Amino acid sequence: MSMTEAELERVQKTGIKGVRNTFTLPVPNGWFGVAQSDEIGPGEVCNKHYFGQDLVVYRTESGVPHVLAAYCAHLGAHLGVGPGAQLSREPGPGRVSGDCIACPFHGWRYDGTGRCVEIPYSEGRIPENARVRGFPAIEKNGLILAWHHLESKPPAWDLPDLPEFADPDWVGPIYTDRYIDTSLQDVTENDQDTVHFLYVHGTETIPEQETRFEGRTRYTVGPRRDGGTFSRETLQLGYGVLRVPDSVAFVYASSPVDEEHTHQRWVFAYPRSIGDEAGREIIDAFSKSGIYHDIPIWNHKVYKDRPLLVQGDGRIMEYRRWARQFYTLPEGSDTAEG
C-alpha cells in the first residue's frame, strides 16, 4: 500500500512504519462519550466522529442532547455544516429548530430519534424511510454519551450518576483527554496487566490487586504508591469509576473512534477541603504520569489475538473473555478470547 507524504515523512523520522488493522473485532456495544457537557449549549450543533462514522451532536433549544448520523437522507448533506457568512467560503454551523436539527441544504427537520418530521417546502407525505440513524443519548457525569450497538438494538443497561459531581463539597467536573492509536479493548486491557507497571511506570515491584468479574461489571482494589488503596468499578468496556478515599474520584470514559483508535476521557472531582493546589496535583499525577508513559507503547504495538503468555502475566485472558460480551460477533467466533 502506498504511503501519503505525511506518512512517509513519519517513517523516515522514526524508522517505524508500523502495522495496522491487527485488531479483528468490530466496534463494541455500550454507552460511549461523544462530547463534554460544556461543549454544546442549547440550540447548538457539534460535529463528531465515533464508531467509524460521522455524527452530529446537538442540543434542543430546551437543552436536551441528541446524537444522529451526520448525513441527510434526502441528498446527503452533512447536517452539521451549513453556509457561512455572506461572501465567505468558510462553512457555518448546523442549525437547530425547536427540538429538531434542520438540514442546511433543503431544511428537512429531524427529531432526536433521527426521523424526519417536517419538509417545509413540500405538502406531500413524508416518506417512511426519511430518517437517519439516531443513537440513544444520555447526559451523566459531565459527558454526553451515545448508545452504540452494531445491530442498532436498544440500550441494555444504564450508567449511574457519580454523586461527587452534584456535591457542593466537591470540585468538578475537570476534564482530561487524549487520542490513542489502538483499539478500545487494548487500552482497557492495561488495567489487568500489572506487570507493565514495573517496566513502564517504574514501580518498585509488580503491584498486587484483587479483581473479580461479575456479569458486565469488573471490580478491582489495588495499592497506591503512597501506601493507600484505590477502588475501580468498570461498568462496561471502556467506562467506569475510580476512587481514592478522601482524595479524588473520576470517571474513565474511553470511546471507540473506530476499530483501531480510541478517544480517552477522564473526568475528575476532588474534595473542596483539600484545596485546589492539592486537587490539581492529584489530577496531574493520574492524567500525566499515570498515562503518558503508556501512550507511546499503545501507539506502536500490534494486537495479538493469541498472545504468548507465561506464568506471572496475570488474568489477561480472563479479561478478554469478560470483554467478549460487549461485541456482536458471528456465531462460533473465538476472536475475543484469544
Question: Do 132 and 188 lie in a common domain?
Answer: no
Contact (CB, 8 A) for 212 and 221: no
Question: Do 131 and 241 lie in a common domain?
Answer: no
pLDDT digit string (tens) for 188-225? 998 888 888 888 887 788 878 889 999 999 998 876 76
**Structure confidence at residue 87 (pLDDT):** 67
Question: Do 308 and 269 lie in a common domain?
Answer: yes
pLDDT digit string (tens) for 17-35? 456 667 788 999 999 999 9
Contact (CB, 8 A) for 90 and 83: no
For 264, the domain range is 163-330
Question: Do 193 and 135 lie in a common domain?
Answer: no
Question: Does a structural domain hold residue 98?
Answer: yes
Question: Do 140 and 52 lie in a common domain?
Answer: yes
Question: Does a structural domain hold residue 157?
Answer: no
Give CA–CA dist 19/3, Å, rounded: 13
Residue 4 — pLDDT band, cuts 50, 70, 90? low
CATH number of the domain residue 127 falls in? 2.102.10.10
Question: Do 286 and 323 lie in a common domain?
Answer: yes
Question: Do 131 and 238 lie in a common domain?
Answer: no
Question: Does a structural domain hold residue 337?
Answer: no
- What is the distance of C-alpha 68 from the center of its chain? 16
Residue 84 — pLDDT band, cuts 50, 70, 90? confident
Question: Do 135 and 234 lie in a common domain?
Answer: no
Give CA–CA dist 132/71, Å, rounded: 7
pLDDT digit string (tens) for 300-334? 888 888 999 999 888 899 999 999 999 998 776 65
Contact (CB, 8 A) for 130 and 116: yes
pLDDT-above-90 percentage for the chain: 63
- Closest C-alpha among 239, 248, 52 to residue 164: 248
